[in-house]
Amino acid sequence: MQRYGVIDNKRKREIVLLRGRGCVYKKCAFCDYYLDSSKDDKANFEINKDTLDKVSGIYGDLEVINSGSVFELDDATLDYIDKVCREKGIRTLHFEAHYLYRHTIPQLRERFKDFDLKLKLGLETFDYHLREEVLRKGIAENNAKEISRGFDEVNLLFGLSGQSAESMQNDIQLALENFERVCVNIMCDNTTSVKPDKKVIREFMQVIYPAYIQNERVDMLINNTDFGVGD
Ligand code: SF4
């Protein structure tokens, strides 16, 4: 498992994939990432410390992901993130969280108040039917402004049956209107029953990718290891 990477284009930053106690939600129909977890806080901390020790501070910007939400990281790891960021001169810190944690985010901002904190929401799509009936994302809200409240950045998931160039364009536009930055992920084959739709991915590559590849606020991951972490 590659746990440390450097993103050298658009918003330049280092990225670490840490290990937490495991996603408390675990219901998203397309996801098996949460398998990278352990209830053993001590063992997690050892892995996380080794990974965080690779951070150099080169861009003053660090993204922390953990196959779940930041709130599933142990306290020692959170303290160590704080320590490393201070020592390496990191000013901007990105974390991910599921929507169910939205009321806990202010406490996290207080804990890391010396940093510019960016919280990324795994939304996948603004299409309520696809998101809730098919993907089972657990975000019972239709209003884009309301969904974005408390979050700064958003993950979208493309390459699914039922999507089209028009729906993907609509998702990116709404995301750009309601969040600072957008990360588009293309569905990759995994152990779940949700499979990538090749026709939709072709449409994405022909229409959406060229339209947004130069946009500084849009990251696009064709493979889920494109940020240099994962396996
Ligand atoms: S996508 Fe995120 S919230 Fe959903 S099951 Fe996977 S790790 Fe949990």
1-22: per-residue pLDDT in tens?
Answer: 999 999 999 999 999 999 999 9
Tell whether 129 is covered by a domain.
Answer: yes
| pLDDT tens sequence across 116-173 | 999 999 999 999 999 999 999 999 999 999 999 999 999 999 999 999 999 999 999 9
Inter-CA distances, 178 with 41, 106, 128, 150, 212, Å: 35, 19, 16, 11, 17
Tell whether 8 is covered by a domain.
Answer: yes
Tokens representing residue 137 in the block: 């994302």
Tell whether 10 is covered by a domain.
Answer: yes
Atom of ligand 1 nearest to the CA of 68: 7
Tell whether 18 is covered by a domain.
Answer: yes
CATH code, domain with 193: 3.20.20.70
The parent domain of residue 30 ranges over 4-221
Atom of ligand 1 nearest to the CA of 137: 4
pTM: 0.96
Pocket test for ligand 1, best of 34, 185, 190 (most atoms within 8 A of CB): 34
**Cα 88 to ligand 1 centre (Å):** 30
pLDDT at site 225: 87
Tell whether 192 is covered by a domain.
Answer: yes
Tell whether 227 is covered by a domain.
Answer: no
Atom of ligand 1 nearest to the CA of 31: 6
**Cα 138 to ligand 1 centre (Å):** 10
Tell whether 231 is covered by a domain.
Answer: no
Atom of ligand 1 nearest to the CA of 32: 6
| Protein residues whose CB sits closer than 6 Å to any atom of ligand 1 | 23, 25-26, 28, 31, 33-34, 67-68, 98, 122
Apex CA 10: angle with CA 4 and CA 11, to 5°?
60
Looking at the structure of the chain, the number of domains it has is: 1
CA atoms within 13 A on the CB side of 88: 22
